[in-house]
Amino acid sequence: MCAKNKLKRFAENMTFDNMFQYHFEEVKDGFYLKGKWGKNFFKNNQPVVLELGCGKGEYTIGLAQLYPDKNFIGMDIKGARMWRGLKMANEKGLKNVAFIRTRINQVSYYFDMDEVSEIWITFPDPHPREIKTRKRLTSPQFLDRYRKFLKKDGIIHLKTDNIIFFEYTLDVIREEKLDLLFHSYDIYDSSIDNELTQIQTFYEKKWLEHGTKIKYLKFKLHK
């Protein structure tokens, strides 16, 4: 994408009332919706579900359509990609969708204790090099961040094409003595017929065309 189109999308992003983008200095001492997403933004008390690394927002939008009784927030640093999700939410009239543009290591500044019911991590950067394991979104370091706002026994979902990342997460679950609820090395070689197979991202479709197996797991993150 050319720089001109990116700048156009960045500008349009800020016209959507469900888009949140702040500098770290503006949120480090207290984001104004922290602990108040349901009451002050969504205007309800429905569960809040967070998608990390939402990219173009296909999963955030898809989940919001499937589960209108929940609120969904997508988070990513790529504003030009997020534009697509913002456009879709606006075109479809979805009131249970919001997006936050920020680095995911700042996620705990946006949510308060017990505010989020579930986390979806969909096709994140696997950071395959061993020296970068701390940057993986299921590393113990990131799990500690999630504990600050995820409800007791809150569920984390991981959907990925990367076998290294997938098996690394299984190892973390075992080492942290967490409850592994379900896992599959190939969700399309099974009888699964729900949001796992009904919602596909742009890149997921490409990986499937090349025969890549899509893996999934979910587990409980204890306090």
Q: How far apart are CA 137 and CA 168, in angstroms?
A: 11
10 pLDDT above the threshold of 90: no
Q: Which of 125, 144, 171, 179 is the catalytic position?
A: 125
In the chain, the largest separation of any two C-alpha atoms, in whole Å, equals 49
Least confident of 6-10, 86-90, 103-107, 186-190: 6-10
CB 107 within 8 A of CB 52: yes
The answer to whether the Cα torsion of 195, 198, 200, 205 is positive or negative is positive
Interatomic CA distance for residues 11 and 87, integer angstroms? 13
Active site residue 69: no
Residue 94, helix vs strand vs coil:
coil
Parent domain of 142: 3-221
Per the CB < 8 A criterion, the answer to whether 134 and 104 are in contact is no
Give the global pTM. 0.94
Higher pLDDT, 128 or 213: 213
Check which CATH number belongs to the domain holding 149 and give it: 3.40.50.150
Return the sign of the alpha-carbon dihedral for residues 168, 126, 22, 45.
negative
Beta-carbon contacts of residue 93 (< 8 Å; ≥ 6 apart): none
pLDDT exceeds cutoff 80 at 1: no
The answer to whether 21 and 102 are in contact (CB under 8 A) is yes
| Residue 202 confidence (pLDDT) | 86
Q: Are 155 and 181 in contact (CB under 8 A)?
A: yes
pLDDT at 4: 64
- Predicted local distance difference test score (pLDDT) of residue 130: 81
Mean pLDDT of the chain: 93
Provide the number of structural domains found in the chain.
Answer: 1
DSSP 8-state assignment for residue 162: -
The terminus-to-terminus CA distance of the chain in angstroms comes to: 42
